[in-house]
């Protein structure tokens, strides 16, 4: 029929020798075509209908319409042949293999059709569906675009090619401070991009009242020093960043949050909507002018040190101050020039990487305090507005609120106090922000952000905009390509697709031909079944009577009961996949393959640790260092660099929090183990859990997510451990240290070790309750006016409650309470609303006293009070922890004690899955909920009713601000609807359960995020998780095979050709990073990376590319430790050959380590005293090595060699670069 529409001819009807006699062919207007005939033009499109009837009665009907006439192809627009403009080719697939196959088919197709314009190909590819695995090829000429396709086909790097995988999450625009400037920045983009040009002109107009220079003229000035003065460069950068941000927004890349560094906050505030353009221009112009003309002399120095080590360093330089916390190992120091000179000399002497920042003031320190009055006066008329985009302040480390207006005082504080950039990035990471886009002429903060992201378990990425000496349209295309390949949907500059609106035939998607078979259904629901249940749910007796052929009157009383049964059954089916519990499974004690020789273990305990513990560790040849004060931990780790682990015997949760925070400041990757006593109950016969100890488990589970590189585990001992328990403990630690880094990280030591496993419990053990629960007497609901309180109250009324007491801190003054009371009382239920802070024992006692006086006996308690206040562990204060924990912990304790004389039949505590398996930013909340779970078990052990339900996140019309439903859904935790939740609560009460977790978890989404930093054995018994892990292992095996092919190829080469092979790999990756197509001949292997133009950003990119190609996990400092392509190649060869010689076994890469030693000794000046010490050590090592290899000899000869001869020998053997 499609052909008939196209060709204007109706085909003859087939098989019509005997037309059916069930149709009256004579009187109607319907007839069969006995022969083909013309389908004439009538001025309207031709239309036809096609119907298909299935054997079961299904009818599919489609109406087709003639396609509109194709307009003639317009003449291609004339353009300069030498510069056709950048073109983007977008390719995506459901798998990486599909992307490569698609590229290969497209390349072959285009090579056979040289007449196809690249822009037409771009237009066609851009209109296709976009999948998660993506590639973008950007170029200006056909040959380089085809070269990019060829590289993509073979999974090789190429300057035109960008690859990535779409990531969920929110986007942050990052605005740096000073340092991204370069001569001529933005000038080419100004002449080629209308949005950028207009915004820059607007910024120039806004600056005019405050400056005696013109922005556009200054940017185009041929003198490279025009931008040097602070009062010029800061406003110029401000304008560039705003123009670039508007350019991104023009291309459909919008921020979910903004963050600025120092002066960058001024541009960020404007983009957030917190400042008008005029006010923003006023602040940047007057601020920079003040720094230039009124600030006392000073300077700034960037250090590659952790904040902890920087603080230690500054104890010897008291007049210097930390001005910025940029990253895990990057801080900025400021002070007088003389003090900075002294520190700089110290850093050079002690090989501390540093860089002097070219400024003449010491901002973000007390030096600025002399400017306070001046800044307040200059900016008094600023009128900040409410942001429309969340503005995350690097002054406070948090998102701004209406209580923190961006007024004159804020901008003084911004200049006076340290920049908390790194802590603010951590806060953004923990709230679902995964894309970080630096809107600047050159990326300066991206390396620090990358270093922070590298330690976080969630997949994340950074994006950059322009680069030094590169602000061309092609550069903008590459920047857009990077956002596209990581999940964004940019609109592209109208340089290629305007004139190509017709269809271009290109190869279609390369399907992977996997078979997907439906399992045979266990039941066969017919259409009659569906009709019956649909009618029943409508509760219409007449309709159901018609369906069943019965009298409607006889069904009137039956239908409500059947409908209720149907609803209950449906909810039970859903609940069967939502119910979980924790089972403790016994395991054989681990058998470590070695001992703890040469390691130090720090035991943190206010008192002397148990002698049995110390003896067990020392029996394994470990050195034990007792530490009584957490504050001493950083210094202790500095004194003992061989520390293999920290054992915490702290029992107070706040002390544990302080320990986690202190350890985090050191950045030391030393595992922290938490030892508790009876925090968990492994079997019904085990001692009931201690709620206070259980808090440590809840808190530490969050630490495992937020600080994975410092995570050891949780080990629970009996109340009175015996010597064999400490032996088990030592074996467990030894096994983790020597044999299995991805160890069981949660263990209870009883007669044998037990490990927890989360398991699904579709139904309670007793499926038919003997005494169904009913809310007798008075029901007390804490948190009764909060987000869940009204839902709970309505459910209880529907369950037959007679009297409800709703409590909260605000009581009847809470929003919506009068309407709720009227609604419930209209159903004949008595409602009491009381103001009561359950964390205050006197308040609870007063409430109970009033109930006693009125003769009200409490039969049911539902403890749902909660304070949802999220923060990372690093930023969590003691006061905040206490506030979050008080409502749940103290509230449960007070209710338990003060209602002891009441006939309580059900005591329900609303807990959370955060306490079961941890959740980022939920440290205090997880600890409090872990307490409730243990509290319920302990109360039950006393013979009292208790039920703890660890909920997922409820759907509610009063969700806390901290809850983002879309983010949770993307993370695999969709909200649970209250109706199904209450069915789960009813089930738990009917069957008198002590604990159950109820949560809707999409494990396919949740597991990759939750287990990205390390395996999480707790979850491995969930069937979906087991399948995902098996699939991941298979994929890893495939990936390892691909990486192994490189290793095998290298091992198969003659020794003399291996160096060239690896060097070629390094140089090709370096060429891509530097943007040089086919750049191998231009890169000398012994040229330092710095001379080649590799800055810190490109260093990270090179490390990442080499890691992808080789399959090795490479250090962030790769190009600093191996400063030439040749040195990196030597290191990589050693690592790769090591894998070839001993696959699957970790061993020392001797060749790589010798290359590293060579680089160190030939690229640094060594002072004479240190030179002698190094020579002595080298002699000793050579004696040991020669003796180990030959059985002796060589030592006497070495004794005769002088220091100078030793260094000459090293130079001769290794060569002097």
3-state SS assignment for residue 1016:
coil
Residue 283's pLDDT is 97
By the 10 Å C-beta count (0-12 exposed, 13-18 middle, 19+ buried), 1019 is classed as buried
- Non-local CB neighbours of 564 within 8 Å, separated by 6+ positions: none
Question: 647 is written with which tokens?
Answer: 């054992």
Neighbours of 889 (CB within 10 A): 23
3-state SS assignment for residue 954:
strand
List the single range of 354-358, 985-989, 1014-1018, 1093-1097 with lowest mean pLDDT: 1093-1097
pLDDT at 1038 exceeding the cut of 70: no
d(CA 1046, CA 410): 56
Query: For residue 287, what pLDDT band results from cuts at 50, 70 and 90?
Result: very high
Residue 498's pLDDT is 47
pLDDT at 1080 exceeding the cut of 70: no
d(CA 36, CA 628): 99
Task: Order the strands of the 391-392 sheet from edge to edge.
Answer: 391-392, 257-260, 170-175, 433-438, 461-463
Q: Where are the beta strands (DSSP E) in 1141-1204?
A: none
Q: What is the mean pLDDT of residues 924-948?
A: 96
Please tell me which of 729-733, 758-762, 1211-1215 the model is most confident about, judged by mean pLDDT: 729-733
Domain 778-1025: give its CATH code. Answer: 3.40.50.720
pTM above 0.85, yes or no: no
List the single range of 336-345, 467-476, 583-592, 851-860 with lowest mean pLDDT: 583-592
Neighbours of 1065 (CB within 10 A): 23
d(CA 499, CA 491): 16
Please tell me which of 491-495, 616-620, 1027-1031 the model is most confident about, judged by mean pLDDT: 616-620
* Residue spans of alpha helices (H) in 707-752: 723-734
Residue 1094's pLDDT is 81
Residue 415's pLDDT is 97
CATH topology (fold) of 296-362: Alpha-Beta Plaits (3.30.70)
Residue 1175's pLDDT is 66
3-state SS assignment for residue 146:
helix
Say which residue, 289 or 1165, is predicted with more confidence: 289
pLDDT at 371 exceeding the cut of 90: yes
Q: What is the mean pLDDT of residues 709-732?
A: 92
Contact status, residue 766 vs residue 991, Cβ threshold 8 Å: yes
Q: Which CATH class for the 87-165 domain?
A: alpha beta
Q: What is the mean pLDDT of residues 232-252?
A: 97
Q: Report the DSSP pairing between strands 37-38 and 9-10.
A: antiparallel
Q: How many residues does the chain have?
A: 1217
* Residue spans of alpha helices (H) in 944-1091: 965-970, 978-990, 1003-1010, 1023-1052, 1055-1074
- Residues 13-52 have pLDDT tens digits of 877 777 777 777 777 677 788 888 888 887 788 888 888 8
Proportion of the chain above pLDDT 70, given as a percent: 82
Query: For residue 637, what pLDDT band results from cuts at 50, 70 and 90?
Result: very high
Q: Which of 1016, 828, 852, 997 is nearest to 916 (CA)?
A: 997
Q: What is the mean pLDDT of residues 564-585?
A: 78
Neighbours of 401 (CB within 10 A): 12
Q: What is the mean pLDDT of residues 557-563?
A: 61
- Residues 806-846 have pLDDT tens digits of 999 999 888 889 999 999 999 999 999 999 999 999 999 99
pLDDT at 356 exceeding the cut of 70: yes
d(CA 967, CA 961): 13
**Segment (H or E) for 1127:** helix 1125-1141
End-to-end CA distance of the chain: 76
In degrees and rounded to multiples of 5, residue 87 shows phi and psi of: -125, 145
d(CA 554, CA 542): 10
Q: Report the DSSP pairing between strands 600-604 and 623-627.
A: parallel
Question: 29 is written with which tokens?
Answer: 């207007």
Residue 64's pLDDT is 87
pLDDT at 246 exceeding the cut of 80: yes
Q: What is the mean pLDDT of residues 1090-1113?
A: 79
- Residues 422-461 have pLDDT tens digits of 999 988 988 889 999 999 999 999 989 988 887 776 788 9
Say which residue, 1053 or 103, is predicted with more confidence: 103
775-789 core/surface letters (b: 16 or more CB in 10 A; e: else): bbbbbbbbbbbbbbb
Residue 802's pLDDT is 92
Contact status, residue 891 vs residue 839, Cβ threshold 8 Å: yes
Out of 3.40.50.720, 3.40.50.2300, 1.10.3720.10, 1.10.1200.10, which CATH number does the structure's domain 1053-1139 have? 1.10.1200.10
639-677 core/surface letters (b: 16 or more CB in 10 A; e: else): ebeebbbbbbbbbebeebbbbbbbbbebbbebbbbbbbe
Q: Which of 660, 561, 1053 is nearest to 881 (CA)?
A: 660
d(CA 209, CA 865): 56
Query: For residue 870, what pLDDT band results from cuts at 50, 70 and 90?
Result: confident
Q: What's the chain's average pLDDT?
A: 84
Out of 3.40.366.10, 3.40.190.150, 3.20.20.10, 3.40.50.300, which CATH number does the structure's domain 170-295+363-470 have? 3.40.366.10
pLDDT at 976 exceeding the cut of 60: yes
Proportion of the chain above pLDDT 90, given as a percent: 53
List the single range of 361-370, 602-611, 1099-1108 with lowest mean pLDDT: 1099-1108
Residue 1199's pLDDT is 41
- Non-local CB neighbours of 738 within 8 Å, separated by 6+ positions: 592, 593, 594, 595, 596
SS3 per residue for 862-901: EECCCCCCCECHHHCCHHHHHHHHHHHHHHHHHHHHHCCC
Neighbours of 390 (CB within 10 A): 18
Residue 1200's pLDDT is 40
- Residues 58-104 have pLDDT tens digits of 788 888 888 876 655 544 444 444 456 899 999 999 888 899 999 99
Contact status, residue 666 vs residue 884, Cβ threshold 8 Å: no
- Residues 656-671 have pLDDT tens digits of 999 999 999 988 889 9
Q: What is the mean pLDDT of residues 524-538?
A: 56
Say which residue, 1008 or 902, is predicted with more confidence: 902
Q: What is the mean pLDDT of residues 114-142?
A: 92
pLDDT at 1190 exceeding the cut of 80: no
């Amino acid at each position: 029929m499609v052909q008939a529409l196209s060709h204007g001819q109706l085909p003859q009807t087939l098989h019509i020798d005997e037309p059916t006699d069930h149709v009256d062919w004579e009187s109607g207007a319907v007839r069969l075509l006995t022969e083909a005939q013309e389908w004439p033009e009538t001025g309207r499109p031709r239309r036809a209908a096609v119907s298909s009837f299935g054997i079961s009665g299904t009818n599919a009907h489609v109406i087709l319409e003639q396609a509109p006439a194709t307009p003639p192809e317009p003449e291609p627009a004339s353009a300069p042949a030498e510069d056709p403009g950048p073109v983007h080719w977008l390719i995506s697939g459901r798998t990486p293999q599909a992307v490569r196959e698609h590229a290969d088919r497209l390349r072959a197709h285009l090579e056979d059709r040289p007449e196809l314009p690249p822009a037409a190909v771009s237009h066609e590819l851009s209109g296709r569906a976009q999948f998660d695995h993506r590639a973008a090829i950007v170029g200006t000429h056909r040959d380089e675009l085809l070269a990019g396709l060829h590289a993509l086909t073979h999974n090789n790097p190429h300057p035109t090619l960008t690859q990535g995988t779409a990531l969920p999450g929110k986007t942050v625009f990052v605005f740096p401070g000073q340092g991204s400037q370069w001569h001529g920045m933005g000038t080419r983009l100004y002449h080629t991009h209308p949005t950028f040009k207009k915004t820059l002109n607007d910024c120039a107009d806004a600056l005019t009242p405050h400056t005696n220079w013109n922005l556009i003229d200054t940017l185009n000035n041929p003198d490279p020093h025009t931008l040097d003065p602070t009062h010029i460069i800061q406003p110029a950068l401000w304008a560039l960043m705003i123009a670039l941000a508007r350019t991104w927004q023009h291309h459909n890349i919008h921020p979910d949050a903004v963050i600025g560094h120092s002066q960058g906050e001024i541009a960020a505030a404007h983009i957030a909507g917190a400042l008008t353009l005029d006010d923003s221009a006023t602040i940047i112009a007057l601020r920079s002018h003040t720094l230039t003309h009124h600030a006392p002399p000073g300077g700034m120095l960037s250090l590659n040190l952790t904040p902890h080590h920087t603080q230690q360093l500054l104890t010897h330089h008291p007049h210097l101050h930390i001005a910025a916390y940029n990253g895990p190992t990057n801080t900025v120091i400021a002070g007088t020039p003389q003090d900075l000179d002294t520190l700089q000399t110290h850093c050079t002497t002690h090989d501390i990487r540093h860089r002097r920042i070219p400024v003449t003031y010491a901002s973000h320190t007390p030096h600025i305090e002399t400017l306070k009055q001046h800044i307040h006066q200059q900016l008094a008329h600023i009128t900040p507005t409410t942001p429309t985009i969340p503005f995350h302040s690097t002054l406070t480390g948090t998102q701004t609120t209406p209580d923190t207006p961006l007024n004159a005082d804020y901008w003084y504080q911004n200049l006076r106090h340290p920049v908390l950039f790194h802590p603010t990035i951590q806060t953004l990471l923990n709230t679902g922000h995964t894309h970080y886009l630096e809107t600047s002429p050159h990326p300066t903060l991206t390396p620090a952000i990358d270093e922070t992201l590298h330690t976080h378990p969630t997949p994340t990425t950074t994006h950059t905009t322009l680069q030094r000496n590169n602000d061309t349209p092609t550069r903008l295309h590459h920047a857009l390509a990077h956002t596209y390949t990581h999940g964004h949907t940019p609109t592209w500059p109208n340089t290629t697709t305007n004139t190509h609106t017709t269809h271009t035939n290109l190869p279609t998607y390369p399907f992977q031909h996997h078979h997907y078979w439906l399992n045979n259904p266990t039941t066969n629901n017919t259409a009659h079944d569906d009709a019956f249940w649909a009618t029943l749910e409508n509760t219409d007796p007449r309709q159901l009577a018609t369906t069943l052929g019965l009298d409607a009157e006889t069904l009137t009383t039956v239908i409500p009961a059947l409908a209720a049964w149907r609803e209950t059954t449906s909810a039970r089916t859903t609940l069967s996949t939502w119910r979980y519990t924790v089972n403790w499974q016994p395991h054989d004690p681990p058998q470590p393959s070695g001992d703890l020789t040469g390691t130090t273990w720090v035991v943190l305990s206010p008192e002397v640790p148990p002698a049995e513990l110390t003896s067990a560790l020392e029996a394994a040849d470990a050195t034990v260092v007792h530490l009584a004060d957490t504050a001493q931990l950083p210094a202790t780790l500095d004194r003992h660099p061989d520390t293999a682990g920290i054992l915490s015997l702290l029992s107070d949760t706040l002390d544990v929090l302080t320990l986690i925070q202190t350890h985090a400041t050191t950045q030391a990757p030393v595992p922290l183990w938490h030892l508790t006593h009876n925090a968990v109950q492994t079997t019904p016969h085990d001692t009931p859990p201690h709620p206070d100890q259980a808090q440590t488990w809840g808190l530490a589970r969050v630490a495992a997510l937020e600080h994975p590189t410092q995570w050891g585990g949780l080990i629970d001992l009996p109340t009175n451990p015996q010597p064999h328990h400490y032996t088990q403990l030592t074996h467990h630690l030894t096994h983790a240290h020597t044999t299995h880094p991805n160890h069981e990280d949660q263990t209870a030591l009883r007669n044998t070790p037990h490990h927890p496993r989360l398991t699904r419990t579709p139904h309670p053990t007793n499926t038919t309750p003997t005494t169904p629960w009913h809310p007798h007497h008075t029901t007390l609901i804490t948190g009764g006016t909060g987000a869940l309180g009204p839902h709970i109250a309505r459910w209880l009324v529907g369950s037959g409650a007679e009297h409800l007491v709703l409590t909260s801190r605000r009581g009847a003054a809470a929003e919506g309470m009068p309407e709720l009371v009227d609604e419930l009382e209209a159903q004949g239920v008595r409602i009491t609303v009381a103001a009561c802070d359950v964390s205050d024992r006197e308040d609870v006692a007063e409430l109970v006293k009033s109930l006693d006086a009125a003769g009200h006996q409490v039969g049911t308690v539902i403890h749902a009070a909660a304070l949802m206040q999220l923060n990372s562990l690093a930023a969590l204060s003691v006061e905040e922890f206490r506030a979050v924990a008080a409502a749940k912990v103290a509230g449960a304790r007070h209710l338990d004690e003060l209602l002891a004389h009441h006939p309580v039949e059900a005591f329900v505590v609303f807990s959370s899955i955060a306490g079961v398996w941890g959740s980022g930013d939920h440290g205090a909340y997880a600890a409090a909920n872990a307490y409730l779970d243990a509290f319920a078990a302990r109360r039950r052990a006393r013979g009292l009713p208790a039920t703890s339900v660890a909920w997922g996140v409820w759907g509610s019309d009063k969700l806390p601000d901290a809850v983002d439903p879309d983010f949770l859904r993307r993370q695999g935790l969709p909200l649970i609807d209250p109706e199904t939740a209450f069915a789960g609560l009813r089930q738990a009460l009917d069957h008198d359960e002590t604990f159950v977790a109820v949560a809707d978890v999409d494990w396919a989404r949740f597991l990759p995020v939750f287990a990205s930093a390390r395996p999480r054995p707790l979850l491995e018994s969930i069937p979906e998780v087991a399948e995902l892990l098996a699939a991941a292992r298979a994929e890893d095996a495939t990936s390892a095979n691909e990486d192994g092919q490189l290793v095998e190829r290298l091992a198969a080469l003659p020794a003399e050709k291996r160096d060239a092979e690896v060097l070629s790999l390094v140089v090709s990756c370096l060429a891509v990073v530097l943007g040089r197509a086919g750049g191998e001949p231009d890169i000398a292997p012994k040229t330092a990376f710095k001379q080649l133009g590799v800055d810190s950003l490109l260093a990270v990119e090179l490390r990442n590319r080499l890691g992808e190609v080789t399959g090795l996990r490479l250090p962030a400092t790769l190009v600093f430790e191996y400063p030439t392509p040749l040195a990196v190649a030597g290191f990589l060869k050693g690592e790769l050959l090591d894998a070839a010689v001993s696959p699957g076994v970790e061993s020392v890469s001797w060749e790589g380590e010798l290359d590293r030693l060579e680089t160190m000794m030939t690229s640094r000046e060594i002072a004479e005293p240190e030179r002698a010490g190094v020579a002595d050590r080298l002699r000793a090592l050579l004696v040991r090595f020669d003796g180990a290899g030959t059985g002796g000899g060589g030592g006497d000869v070495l004794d005769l060699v002088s220091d100078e001869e030793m260094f000459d020998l090293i130079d001769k053997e290794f060569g002097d670069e």
